[in-house]
């Protein structure tokens, strides 16, 4: 079982009346709410937290990409990842990921990911999300009618750039490049493992199954809502006659560990309510650019609503409908399974169920969320690492994780000296 | 209101619907945002004295998934020209609304012999950052009817699932129409049509709904100033962006009077 520590990097000082006073946390969130000097401290806290998670023994640290977003301060996760490559030694670095269609040329992603892979000695997990409507179509102005076609073409270009030995011409529908020849080349051969975060579309299940990529469901709505999506992926795998190796799946889950359930409830309520209340306050007008959702997924959604199927809670709902129906009070947040809380034993027990029921070998854990302080984040992280992690490591041990980074031999890797500022007196 | 004759032609491998009704000199019509999922009274008004011919814009209702292979603006314009030719509209009068009006203007600019006289209802294609159009794709679903027409019930009736229609495919087709428009005009609606307006020689009527909430009235003057041919601006009282839906008789009368 792999336990991965994920940071969204939320701005932690959105005002208490944010929901009432602002239309959206995303796309048109007002610049007056952003204080760069406060954000200086936030970024440095967040990077400390990621490094701390690595020290505590998490298998990976994870970062992701958002634009014009008050709960995701990483327009470029690659910048954070490159710093982590220097400040960690053996932990995998999961960039989850780069939204391929936003890069022109997409060769840029092949280059930057290769840089991170080389600097880190082969520890990169390369995540390729399509990206949310807010990030891609609105904040970045990408045409929703071409987004998926551009994504797939960019994927083909990046993989070729990593694997072809000679300079080649790329003659794509949207990208033409006469001389593709990236330097550096990734350490991991044929290329870093590719993981794909999906939102429950049939096409993405099939694509991951066929390409032998890891399918990840990065939902903020927990294991109860995530069940249908992961079941859909495994049903597709079965249909294609593929083994149901849990390591071909990843799942995101919010966690709060305390001494007891009530202790955890009290500790994490503020941060969770900040996240679900303020951070997920997204104007639904940003949620449905036409063409973003494939016609196949629209069809599946409409049909599931007609059937009133159990999975219509999340699948078949537009992003906007999901945001509108989010629980925002701690009681409901916990009841709905958005955040798993409890004593170490209780959290371990629930996560075992998640990992088994969803058949997931990679759990991406959010142990910082909302305005959680650095102290509480460290407490949550340490308690999880010391008392929850050992109870989960044996899960899925009969399977081989073929999708984990294969770094250089540690003895061959560069020694990275700790930073030692010169004393003023020198 | 009787049903039109329906023909199907092939455009880039996609079956594309052409409606035809009436008699007299031909007039083509290219639909506005959202397309025409059903025949509308405005077309009957035109058919009283004209042979009205309505080819579906690729991706609009009746246009199948024709938009999905159109990547560049040139792809779009060639597809529309081919469509007009196959609809037997070469050299005829041409009207269009909103999205379709922009395409009609393009055809008149690039291939002047294709269009005798032109009538444009609140066309897309320009962008003035001091007076930007409303973003039709960044709206809550319940706001769309009131933006497209002055009387939201007209839009709702246009888009309602007809008896006997496939209740799954119908809403997907309506999303597809919006996607098709996005494929041409995302994100600003600006196709740099401004550069080509001077190539339009055809006499051109610019029709604007009095209460257009999508395309500001100032764009009528921009089109009029840019077009080389003689222009005239007509405002339709009580109409919204898709004036032909709000005020079919008045809009048709204004167009027919101009075309002569």
Measured between beta carbons, which residues in chain B are less than 8 angstroms from residue A146? Answer: 71, 183
For the record, the structure tokens of A26 come out as 């995303």
Nearest beta carbon to residue A285 from set B139, B181, B182 = B139
Rounded to 5 degrees, what are φ and ψ at A69? -130, 125
**Nearest-CA distance from A175 to chain B in Å?**
12
pLDDT tens track for B14-41 = 999 999 999 999 999 999 999 999 999 9
DSSP state at residue A276? I
CA dist., res. B246 & res. B155, Å (int)? 9
For the record, the structure tokens of B127 come out as 């962008």
Confidence band (pLDDT; 50, 70, 90) for A421? low
A324 in contact with chain B, both atoms CB, cutoff 8 A: no
Confidence band (pLDDT; 50, 70, 90) for B49? very high
Measured between beta carbons, which residues in chain A are less than 8 angstroms from residue B175? Answer: 290-291, 298
Average of per-residue pLDDT across A197-208: 90
Cα atoms found within 13 Å of the Cα of residue A419, Cβ hemisphere only: 5
A145 in contact with chain B, both atoms CB, cutoff 8 A: yes
CA dist., res. A71 & res. A63, Å (int)? 13
Residue B134's SS3 state is coil
Question: How many Cβ atoms are within 10 Å of A306's Cβ, its own excluded?
Answer: 12
Could you tell me if B102 and B108 are in contact, meaning their C-beta atoms sit under 8 angstroms apart? no
Q: Which residues contact A286 (CB under 8 A, 6 or more apart)?
A: A24, A26, A27, A133, A134, A138, A320, B138
CA dist., res. A107 & res. A177, Å (int)? 9
Report in angstroms the alpha-carbon separations of A25 from A10, A135, A146, A161, A286. 11, 12, 26, 36, 11
Nearest beta carbon to residue A145 from set B143, B169, B182 = B182
CA dist., res. A237 & res. A269, Å (int)? 38
Confidence band (pLDDT; 50, 70, 90) for B70? very high
CA dist., res. B198 & res. B185, Å (int)? 21
A302 in contact with chain B, both atoms CB, cutoff 8 A: yes
Residue A90's SS3 state is coil
Average predicted confidence (pLDDT) for chain A: 94
For the record, the structure tokens of A48 come out as 């400390």
Q: Which of B76, B143, B172 to mutate to test the interface with A (most CBs of A within 10 A)?
A: B172
Q: What domains are there in chain A, each with its CATH number?
A: 2-292+318-410 (3.20.20.30)
Measured between beta carbons, which residues in chain B are less than 8 angstroms from residue A288? Answer: 141
- Element housing B68 (H / E): none
3-state DSSP helix/strand/coil % of chain B, to nearest 5: 40, 20, 40
B218 in contact with chain A, both atoms CB, cutoff 8 A: no
For the record, the structure tokens of A104 come out as 């022109």
CB contact under 8 A, A285 and B140: yes
Nearest beta carbon to residue A303 from set B168, B175, B187 = B168
A146 in contact with chain B, both atoms CB, cutoff 8 A: yes
Confidence band (pLDDT; 50, 70, 90) for A319? low
Considering only residues 147 to 166 of chain A, which have any Cβ-Cβ distance to chain B shorter than 8 Å?
A: none
Cα atoms found within 13 Å of the Cα of residue A390, Cβ hemisphere only: 7
B91 in contact with chain A, both atoms CB, cutoff 8 A: no
**Nearest-CA distance from B248 to chain A in Å?**
28
**Nearest-CA distance from A198 to chain B in Å?**
21
For the record, the structure tokens of A235 come out as 């049903």
CA dist., res. B162 & res. B209, Å (int)? 27
B176 in contact with chain A, both atoms CB, cutoff 8 A: yes
Query: Which residues on neighbouring strands pair with residue A256, listed in sequence order?
Result: A341
Percent of chain B surpassing pLDDT 70 = 100
Measured between CA atoms, the residue of chain B closest to residue A295 is B172
CB contact under 8 A, A145 and B67: yes
Report in angstroms the alpha-carbon separations of A37 from A66, A267, A271. 20, 27, 22
CA dist., res. B11 & res. B59, Å (int)? 11
Could you tell me if A38 and A4 are in contact, meaning their C-beta atoms sit under 8 angstroms apart? no
Confidence band (pLDDT; 50, 70, 90) for B221? very high
Residue A320 has pLDDT above 70, yes or no: no
Could you tell me if A393 and A282 are in contact, meaning their C-beta atoms sit under 8 angstroms apart? no
DSSP A113-180: HHHHHHHTTS-EEEE-----HIIIIIIS---TTTHHHHHHHHHHHHHHHHH-SS-EEEE-SS-EEEEE
Q: Is A309 exposed, middle or buried (0-12, 13-18, 19+ CB in 10 A)?
A: middle
Measured between beta carbons, which residues in chain A are less than 8 angstroms from residue B140? Answer: 283-285, 320
Confidence band (pLDDT; 50, 70, 90) for A300? confident
Residue A315 has pLDDT above 90, yes or no: no
pLDDT tens track for A109-140 = 999 999 999 999 999 999 999 999 999 999 99
Average of per-residue pLDDT across A168-177: 98
CB contact under 8 A, A286 and B138: yes
Q: Is the dihedral of CA A34, A40, A43, A49 positive or negative?
A: negative
CB contact under 8 A, B183 and A289: no
B174 in contact with chain A, both atoms CB, cutoff 8 A: no
Confidence band (pLDDT; 50, 70, 90) for A312? very low
A357 in contact with chain B, both atoms CB, cutoff 8 A: no
Measured between beta carbons, which residues in chain A are less than 8 angstroms from residue B176? Answer: 290, 295
pLDDT tens track for B133-190 = 999 999 999 999 999 999 999 999 999 999 999 999 999 999 999 999 999 999 999 9
Residue A146 has pLDDT above 50, yes or no: yes
B132 in contact with chain A, both atoms CB, cutoff 8 A: no
Nearest beta carbon to residue B179 from set A144, A286, A320 = A144
Q: What domains are there in chain B, each with its CATH number?
A: 5-259 (3.40.50.1820)
Query: Which residues on neighbouring strands pair with residue A341, listed in sequence order?
Result: A256
Place of tokens 């440095």: A44
**Nearest-CA distance from A290 to chain B in Å?**
5
CA dist., res. B18 & res. B5, Å (int)? 8
CB contact under 8 A, A141 and B186: yes
Measured between CA atoms, the residue of chain B closest to residue A282 is B140
Residue B118's SS3 state is strand
pLDDT computed for residue A308 by the predictor = 54
CB contact under 8 A, A298 and B179: no
Report in angstroms the alpha-carbon separations of A323 from A133, A276, A367. 13, 9, 22
Could you tell me if A115 and A81 are in contact, meaning their C-beta atoms sit under 8 angstroms apart? no
Strands (E), A155-261: 168-171, 176-180, 194-198, 214-217, 249-257
pLDDT computed for residue A426 by the predictor = 54
CA dist., res. A365 & res. A253, Å (int)? 5
Report in angstroms the alpha-carbon separations of B113 from A132, B62, B85, B231. 45, 26, 12, 18
> What distance lies between CA A407 and its chain's CA centroid?
21
End-to-end CA gap in chain A: 49
A172 in contact with chain B, both atoms CB, cutoff 8 A: no
pTM, rounded to two decimals: 0.95
Could you tell me if B56 and B36 are in contact, meaning their C-beta atoms sit under 8 angstroms apart? yes
CB contact under 8 A, A144 and B171: no
CA nearest neighbour of A290 among A104, A98, A148: A148
Please report the number of interchain residue pairs, chain A to chain B, with beta-carbon separation below 8 angstroms: 66
């Amino acid at each position: 079982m792999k336990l991965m520590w994920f940071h969204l990097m939320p701005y932690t000082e959105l005002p208490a009346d944010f929901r009432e006073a602002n239309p959206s946390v995303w796309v048109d969130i007002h610049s007056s709410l952003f204080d760069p000097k406060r954000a200086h401290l936030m970024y440095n806290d967040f990077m400390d937290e990621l490094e701390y998670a690595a020290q505590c023994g998490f298998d990976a640290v994870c970062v992701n990409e958002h634009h014009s977003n008050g709960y995701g301060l990483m327009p470029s996760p690659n910048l954070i990842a490159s710093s982590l490559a220097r400040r960690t030694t053996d932990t995998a670095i999961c960039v989850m990921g780069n939204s391929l269609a936003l890069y022109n040329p997409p060769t840029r992603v092949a280059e930057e990911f290769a840089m991170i892979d080389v600097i880190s000695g082969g520890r990169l997990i390369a995540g390729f999300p399509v990206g949310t409507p807010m990030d891609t179509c609105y904040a970045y102005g990408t045409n929703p009618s071409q987004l998926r076609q551009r994504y797939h073409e960019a994927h083909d270009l990046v993989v070729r750039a990593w694997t072809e030995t000679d300079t080649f011409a790329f003659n794509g529908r949207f990208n033409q490049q006469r001389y593709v020849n990236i330097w550096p080349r990734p350490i991991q051969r044929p290329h870093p493992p590719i993981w794909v975060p999906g939102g429950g579309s049939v096409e993405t299940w099939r694509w991951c199954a066929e390409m032998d990529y890891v399918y990840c469901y990065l939902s903020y709505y927990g294991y109860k809502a995530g069940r249908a999506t992961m079941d859909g992926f495994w049903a597709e795998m079965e249909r294609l006659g593929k083994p149901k190796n849990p390591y071909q799946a990843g799942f995101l889950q919010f966690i709060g560990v305390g001494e007891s359930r009530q202790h955890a409830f009290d500790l994490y309520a503020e941060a969770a309510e900040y996240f679900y209340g303020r951070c997920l306050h997204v104007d639904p007008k940003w949620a449905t650019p036409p063409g973003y959702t494939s016609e196949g997924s629209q069809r599946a959604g409409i049909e599931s609503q007609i059937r009133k199927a159990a999975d219509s809670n999340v699948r078949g709902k537009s992003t906007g409908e999901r945001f509108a129906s989010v629980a925002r009070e701690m009681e409901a947040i916990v009841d709905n399974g958005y955040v798993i809380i409890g004593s170490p034993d209780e959290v371990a027990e629930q996560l075992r169920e998640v990992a088994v029921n969803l058949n997931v070998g990679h759990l991406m854990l959010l142990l910082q969320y909302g305005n959680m302080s650095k102290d509480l984040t460290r407490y949550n992280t340490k308690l999880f690492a010391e008392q929850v992690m050992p109870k989960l490591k044996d899960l899925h041990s009969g399977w081989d994780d073929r999708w984990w980074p294969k770094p250089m031999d540690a003895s061959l890797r560069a020694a990275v000296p700790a930073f030692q500022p010169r004393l003023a007196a020198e | 209101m009787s049903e039109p004759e329906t023909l199907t032609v092939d455009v880039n491998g996609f079956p594309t619907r052409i409606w035809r009704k009436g008699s007299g000199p031909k007039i083509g019509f290219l639909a506005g945002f959202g397309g025409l999922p059903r025949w509308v009274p405005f077309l009957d008004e035109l058919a009283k004295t004209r042979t009205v011919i309505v080819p579906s814009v690729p991706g609009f209702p009746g246009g199948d998934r024709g938009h999905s292979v159109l990547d560049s603006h040139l792809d779009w314009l060639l597809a529309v020209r081919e469509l007009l030719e196959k609809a037997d509209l070469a050299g005829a009068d041409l009207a269009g609304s909103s999205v379709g009006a922009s395409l009609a203007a393009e055809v008149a600019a690039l291939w002047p012999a294709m269009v005798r006289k032109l009538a444009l209802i609140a066309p897309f294609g320009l962008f003035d950052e001091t007076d930007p159009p409303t973003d039709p794709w960044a709206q809550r679903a319940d706001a769309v009817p009131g933006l497209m027409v002055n009387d939201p019930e007209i839009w709702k009736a246009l888009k309602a699932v007809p008896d006997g229609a496939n209740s799954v495919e119908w809403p997907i087709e309506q999303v597809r129409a919006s996607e098709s428009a996005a494929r041409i005009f995302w994100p600003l609606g600006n196709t740099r049509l401004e550069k080509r307006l001077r190539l339009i020689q055809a006499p051109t009527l610019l029709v604007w709904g009095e209460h257009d909430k999508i395309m500001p009235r100032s764009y009528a003057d921009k089109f009029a100033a840019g077009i080389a041919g003689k222009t005239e601006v007509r405002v339709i009282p009580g109409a919204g962006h898709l004036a032909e839906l709000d005020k079919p008789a008045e809009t048709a009368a204004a167009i027919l009077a101009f075309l002569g």
